[in-house]
Structure 1
């Protein structure tokens, strides 16, 4: 018996990546990887406090589109726009405009902690007493409608 002409190769991460990047299905993935690399080049040019709240979302037709997680960061990024555009041009991008959009949600990797990671503060003594009083009032019998004087 002879060996098959095209034995099946075992799957590997590189083979899976090659399949994902195959034309034409790989175009969006290639673009996402390129935008991520561009983001990693541009964000260090921003002040550190601002860089933690901004992320490159797109670059198309000369427009750099950044996403920020609050109106304050939007204003600060717009102030940094001329310098950022100059630096982007130094990388060879034909950047002519900076657009900043505000997200309602914190960006991934931002400095603001998520609700799940925030430390739980202990309840104050006054709050504990008020809670106990409220719970006790729920346990006490309520007057029936028959006890009302006519």
Structure 2
């Protein structure tokens, strides 16, 4: 894996170039080579005024994982029947009604 996969430019103000590396190992390597890097970078017209190189370390930002777009699975028929029978044993009216609503809304996703 080359440097381009581990280093990004954060800022350049005409005198100071700020780089971000994704690990302390790459940071150390770049700091070790800073004098040579400055000499090489100054050879390019846009970077002739470069006076310093600053290196920061921050982990690469993880890519956003796509959300699961599948509809939520409902209760299967057997589970719905079990929830209904459980509801029938409840003394608490609110809990009994909530369990019945849950069982009545079941859908089978197959």
For normalisation by structure 1, the TM-score amounts to: 0.36
For normalisation by structure 2, the TM-score amounts to: 0.48
> Is the helix fraction higher in 1 or 2?
1
Relative CO higher for 1 or 2, CA cutoff 8 Å, sep ≥ 6? 2
